[in-house]
Amino acid sequence: MRKNIVAGNWKMNTTVPEGVALAKEVNQQLANAKHNCDVVICVPFTHLTSVAAVIDQKVLGLGAENCSEYESGAYTGEVSADMVASTGAGYVILGHSERRQYFKENNEQLLAKCRLALKNNLTPIFCVGEVLEERENGTYNEVVKHQIEALFDLTAEDFAKIIVAYEPVWAIGTGKTATADQAQDMHANIRAVIAEKYGKEIADNTSILYGGSCKPTNAKELFSKPDVDGGLIGGAALKADSFMGIVEAFN
Ligand code: PGA
């Protein structure tokens, strides 16, 4: 059966010493408390090696926030999936709306990134989600379907390794959370789209996380929905206490 997962997305926040301290604190709190979900932190590239050195990845998983669509070579400034994996990280966020919006990442690039992540044994956390205009004009189910379909060139075996994160863009960092019912409806839509292509078993086993202003105060209600398998957490992942408050929503 699919796993419940709470993943942090630190974005472009914290220096290396600050990040190491935060990771240590989260790891310690997790080691001391019972929790009923997998917990992952996705951190800036610069932090991966130092964070890997201070956490126990059996307790707290580690991921990057992006990787290159290219394997290696003359791509100044890029970081490959192979490099990310060599730090000891096991996950990578791909297709976050900020990457799609500000860095113009498209479906073709995201498929290439997913393939390279999987080739290097990284678990992609693949983000999808509509913008406000698409929510308001009613096209959101179609929009998200097309984003998911971008990965449909993957084999069933490969697709089965992916974690999906539904993050309505209008809810990210805005304090405006989707209602639990809106999240549930979209997650059920995503699962149906996956089932149509890869079958019910793979769809049922895919973890689909909700992201967008998820906080300790609303996590329990969101996670109580049958198709919401956890969260991808931005702002609230930057303090151990609020991040742990979300992890505890599964207790
Ligand atoms: P937020 O970000 O929790 O700060 O809204 C979520 C995300 O962008 O992954």
| pLDDT given for residue 33 in this prediction | 86
Helix (H, G, I), strand (E, B) or coil at 194: helix
Does the beta carbon of 173 lie inside 6 Å of ligand 1?
yes
pLDDT in tens, 20-35: 999 999 999 999 988 9
Domain with residue 20: its CATH number is 3.20.20.70
Question: How confident is the model at residue 173, as a pLDDT?
Answer: 86
In terms of residues, how long is the chain?
Answer: 251
Q: How far is the CA of 9 from the centre of ligand 1 (A)?
A: 7
Write down the catalytic residue from 47, 96, 98, 248: 96
Distance 73 CA to ligand 1 centre (A): 32
pLDDT band at residue 106 under the 50/70/90 scheme: very high
Per-residue confidence (pLDDT) for residue 174, from 0 to 100: 87
Q: What is the pLDDT of residues 50-98, one digit of tens each?
A: 999 999 999 999 999 999 999 999 999 999 999 999 999 999 999 999 9
Q: What is the pLDDT of residues 149-168, one digit of tens each?
A: 999 999 999 999 999 999 99
Q: Domain containing 238: what range?
A: 5-250
The 8 Å CB, 24+ separation contacts for 191-198 are 191/227, 193/144, 193/145, 193/148, 193/149, 194/148, 194/159, 194/164, 197/149, 197/152, 197/159, 198/156, 198/159, 198/160
Whether 177 is in the pocket of ligand 1, judged by its Cβ within 6 Å, is no
Pairing assessment for the beta strands 38-42 and 61-64 based on DSSP bridges: parallel
CA distance 133 to 156: 33
Which atom of ligand 1 is nearest to 174's Cα? 5
pLDDT of 1 higher than 90: no
Q: Is the pLDDT of residue 175 over 90?
A: no
How far from each other are the two terminal CA atoms of the chain, in whole angstroms?
18
pLDDT-based confidence at residue 211 (cuts at 50, 70, 90): very high
What is the distance in A from the centroid of ligand 1 to the CA of 219? 13
Q: Does residue 9 line the site of ligand 1, with CB under 6 A?
A: yes
Take atom 3 of ligand 1 and give the residue whose Cα is closest.
Answer: 234
| Nearest protein CA to atom 6 of ligand 1, as residue | 234
pLDDT tens-digit readout, 224-233:
999 999 999 9
Q: Which residues make beta-bridge pairs with 5?
A: 38, 230
Number of domains in the chain: 1
Q: Which member of 35, 167, 187, 248 is catalytic?
A: 167
Say how many Å lie between the CA of residue 209 and the centre of ligand 1.
12
